[in-house]
Amino acid sequence: MSQLAIYIHDQLAERLDKAVKASGKSKSKWVADAIKHSLQDQWPKGFFGLAGSWEDDVGPDEIMSRIRTGILLCSKNKSCRS
């Protein structure tokens, strides 16, 4: 297993410490999970082929942007749920 040394600003280190404490994980595990999550951009086979198969004014790029930023997508006839 590889090791990684990084330098971060004190303010970011404080935020990291709070997030690590809240997660109950070790700092190493938390950072490794964050890196794994941020590098993961795998979608099921055929996922993008569904683009255009629904009726909406929002295109695939906007949908992906909303998914990545955590904005709920709501249909016109249904209530939003998180």
Q: What is the pLDDT of residues 34-44, one digit of tens each?
A: 998 888 777 77
| pTM recorded for the entire structure | 0.51
Q: Can you give the residue range of the structural domain that contains 31? A: 1-40
The pLDDT score that the predictor gives to residue 73 is 52
Counting the structural domains of the chain, the total is 1
Please check whether residue 33 lies inside any domain of the structure: yes
The counts of H helices and E strands in the chain are 3, 0
Whether the per-residue pLDDT at 76 is higher than 80: the answer is no
Gap between the Cα atoms of 68 and 53, Å rounded: 21
CATH classification of the domain holding 3: 1.10.1220
The pLDDT score that the predictor gives to residue 79 is 55
Q: What is the pLDDT of residues 1-28, one digit of tens each?
A: 899 999 999 999 999 999 999 999 999 9
Alpha carbon distances (Å) from 18 to 12, 25, 27, 49: 10, 11, 10, 40
The DSSP call for residue 46 is T
Please check whether residue 82 lies inside any domain of the structure: no
Gap between the Cα atoms of 82 and 72, Å rounded: 7
Q: What is the pLDDT of residues 48-65, one digit of tens each?
A: 888 777 777 877 888 888
Closest CA to 6 of 23, 24, 30: 30
